[in-house]
Amino acid sequence: MNIHEIERLNIIQPDWRIADLVKDNLNNIAKPLDSLGKFEDIICKIGAIQGKINCRIEKKAVIVMCADNGVVEEGISQSQQNVTAAVAEAMGQNVSSVGKMASVAGVRIIPVDIGINCKKNIPGVVNKKIALGTKNFAKEKAMNEKEASAAISVGIALVEQCKKFGYEIIGTGEMGIGNTTTSSAITAALLNCPVKEIVGRGAGLSSLGLHKKRKVIETAIKKYKLKDADPYEILCTVGGFDIAGLVGVFIGGALNRIPIVIDGVISAVAALLAEKICPGTVDYMIASHKSREKAYSYIVKELELSPIIDADLALGEGTGTIMLMSLLDLAMGVYNSPNTFDDIKIDPYKKQ
């Protein structure tokens, strides 16, 4: 699909009447009203998305988009590009951080090479490579429109495939050296906020590296006049293939009625782009945790989403989504195997 076809996709709202019925069921469980807090809101939202009162999230996956970013040439990262391929290879073998968490939580990890700067096929990693990384946006636009729309289409297609295999909830993850620079640049341009306020140290930049990172972003925003550009142009100019692929995952979730869980700042900026490109996709999103990166707070405020976990996480790879899924399993256990007030022979709670 090209961008015009993507923008014309019909996003249908979740069935919020189902959410009300799910809430009624929660209120009939032998517990104080609203006592599961935000988890009750999420369960109601999942019911509305799936269109089912007996909503379930037993079959879970995390799609991890892996890609390299040409802007690494500017010295804006502590690590070199070969780290992206190395971590992707570990994901393919289920020995990276996200793989270890997934094996405990019963979640399938789907690592995707959407733009790693490596010509070999990586075992265990789905090969959907658009190119050998993006270009250095300090010198030229990161990708052309054909490449960006192809990456978005990859994400949409992967969610469609997950739907066919019966997955009920999908998390988003990424791996790509330099992608806190691309995500910060997109956020600053989209939300017209000061670069200094939103750009952090990523995986551990020195003060000199942080200064350089901010300067590269500020220069690019002025050079390409991004504060006057539309969201798709911003993505093409300073984005990454990992972000573009995740844009497709969020849009695919809305098209296929699957809740999509946001991880940290990179997947959050993809969520924001998805909502800007296809309004209504935000209704299918769940925010997992409050990222350490400064841009994250700006993004979830714009999306009017509230992350559940506040634990100073900055691991990436989709690890925050697995943590939330595990907590959701506990809450869903209460919902799907309830004790009613009649079961334990006490009077129901009433709103005062």
Predicted confidence (pLDDT) per residue in 262-281, tens digit: 999 999 999 999 999 999 99
Is 167 inside any structural domain?
A: yes
Neighbours of 84 (CB within 10 A): 28
Q: Is 44 exposed, middle or buried (0-12, 13-18, 19+ CB in 10 A)?
A: buried
User: Parallel, antiparallel, or unpaired: how do β-strands 285-287 and 60-67 relate?
Assistant: unpaired
Residue 316 is assigned to a structural domain of this protein = yes
In a domain, 313, yes or no: yes
Task: Show the tokens assigned to 101.
Answer: 């968490």
Q: Domain containing 89 — which CATH number?
A: 3.40.50.10210
Which class for 346: exposed (0-12), middle (13-18), buried (19 or more C-beta within 10 A)? exposed
Does residue 66 lie in a domain region? Answer: yes
End-to-end CA distance of the chain: give it in Å, rounded: 53
Residue 274 belongs to a domain = yes
317 in catalytic set? yes
Structural domain includes residue 7: no
Cα–Cα distance measured from residue 108 to residue 256, given in angstroms and rounded to the nearest whole number: 19
The total of other beta-carbon atoms located within 10 Å of residue 45's CB is 21
Contacts of residue 190, Cβ cutoff 8 Å, sequence gap at least 6: 231, 234, 269, 272, 273, 276
Task: Give me the catalytic one of 40, 233, 302, 317.
Answer: 317
Check if the beta carbon of residue 153 is closer than 8 Å to that of residue 1: yes
In which domain, by residue range, is 85 found? 58-327
Tens place of pLDDT per residue across the chain (352 aa): 999 999 999 999 999 999 999 999 999 999 999 999 999 999 999 999 999 999 999 999 999 999 999 999 998 887 789 999 999 999 999 999 999 999 999 999 999 999 999 999 999 999 999 999 999 999 999 999 999 999 999 999 999 999 999 999 999 999 999 999 999 999 999 999 999 888 866 666 677 778 889 999 999 999 999 999 999 999 999 999 999 999 999 999 999 999 999 999 999 999 999 999 999 999 999 999 999 888 999 999 999 999 999 999 989 999 999 999 999 999 999 999 888 788 877 778 888 7
Query: Does residue 43 form part of some domain?
Result: no
Q: Is 38 left (phi over 0), alpha (psi -120 to 50) or beta?
A: alpha
What is the total count of domains within the chain? 1
Residue 81 lies in a domain: yes
Return the structure tokens found at 85.
């391929």
